[in-house]
Amino acid sequence: KYTTFSIFYYWINSRGQNVSIYSRSENVDIPSGKENHTATISYDHRVMPLHDTSSTGTYYCTVKWNSIQKMGKGVFVLARGTGYVDTCHGWEILITFTVLLAALSMTATALLLWKRK
């Protein structure tokens, strides 16, 4: 009864619509002596590169047996138009701070030498 099932990959877009990505049917043979035992089989599906920001949504996998349906928890994917942008400005801050300290140091030294004269 449970050896024939279908796997469905789909996503729910920002409008709440189900968009089918891929589906397939499976027929798994049960080895002798393994009847009436729970088995786990992993199935991977690679999502192709996202084309634009409209691909943002929650992606799901559902498995259907005769009258039983099991749905995965889903994975939320945020598609951005510009890709990943590194927001770390560590080097810029360090260089700016060093230049500022050097300028203040030279100014203080010049004032001390001027005051001595």
One pLDDT digit (tens) per residue for the chain, 117 residues: 668 889 898 988 778 888 888 888 988 887 777 777 777 777 777 766 666 667 788 889 999 988 889 998 988 887 776 666 666 777 788 888 899 999 999 999 999 888 876
Question: Both 73 and 97 in a single domain?
Answer: no
Q: What is the pLDDT of residue 84?
A: 63
Contact yes or no for 64/8 (Cβ under 8 A): yes
| 82 falls within a domain | no
- Look at residue 45 and tell me if it is in a domain: yes
Residues of the domain holding 53: 4-77
Q: Look at residue 31 in the predicted model and tell me its pLDDT.
A: 75
With 0.75 as the threshold, say if the pTM is over it: no
- Domain total of the chain: 2
Quote the pLDDT of residue 94: 85
| In a shared domain, residues 42 and 95 | no
Residue 98 shares a structural domain with residue 73: no
Same domain flag for 15 and 46? yes
Q: Do 92 and 65 share a domain, yes or no?
A: no
